[in-house]
Amino acid sequence: MLSSPVIGVENPRITANEARAALTARIRGVQDKDSHPVIVYDLDATLFDNRPRVMQIIADLLLSKEAAEFPVEVRRAAGSVTPRKMKYRLTDTLKAHGIEDPKILKWFEQEWFKRFFTNEYVQLDLPTPGAVEFVNQMHDIGVRTVYLTGRDTPGMREGTHAALVQYKFPEPDGQRCILITKPTFEQPDMEYKMEVVEELKKLGTVIGVFDNEPKPMNVLTEAFPEAEHFYLDTMHSPDVEPLLPGIRVLSDFT
């Protein structure tokens, strides 16, 4: 059964072990040609689950003076949100829990926005199951690890680096492990990721790409057609397109 409309019949589901085996075979071939094998990983909803970040933001907002003025049923509904019931947009999540007042929804959205894209809150994300072990295994056998994220440098790079270190992912050092963040918050993610393609080509031979968003997944698949392409079937934005044929699907890294 297809769990997302972006996944087609030409996007087979595989296990992390199958992904690991495919990449390991590619690594040896690239090393024999005296090139650096490179694996590119997205972060949000790929290596990290950002729902804990949202949960903490909701909890903090419910403790605010403004929220204390809301009807008790609104506070109870917001407090009942769980990760499993969370949608991509906070307002959609709250609507699904029975909160309909436009002013209250707008307040939650504005206050969420102030916190979500910050160094402080980004450190609350938890690794996707199996991700730490998977990335380290690939790194330890000779891969150049690249974290390619839409998180911006001014507001989120410091917290992102700290979270990678905290959970014992390979630490960005600018050589064997590289963290690429968006120069400005305002730049559209897709524009930024398309610009980064040329930078990635200079780092070695890209043998693997992991992402949870169909559009950048497709862009990187077209940019690196000889690589292995893996789509994380976790959570994606509503603005989507079908995955290109041949992209394989993972639920997590276990």
Enumerate the CATH 3.40.50.1000 domain ranges in the chain, comma separated: 16-49+126-250
pLDDT in tens, 154-174: 999 999 999 999 999 999 999
Rounded to two decimals, the pTM is 0.95
Give the mean pLDDT of 75-97: 96
Contact assessment for residue 38 and residue 227, using Cβ atoms and an 8 Å cutoff: no
Residue 32: the pLDDT is 76
The hierarchical CATH code for the domain 16-49+126-250 is 3.40.50.1000
pLDDT at 1 over 50: no
Q: Give residue 244's identity as a one-letter amino acid code.
A: L
Q: Is residue 99 classed exposed, middle or buried when 0-12, 13-18 and 19+ CB atoms within 10 A define those classes? A: buried
187: left (phi over 0), alpha (psi -120 to 50) or beta: beta
- Measure the N-to-C terminal CA separation of the chain; round to a whole number of Å: 20
Give the mean pLDDT of 32-60: 94
pLDDT at 203 over 80: yes
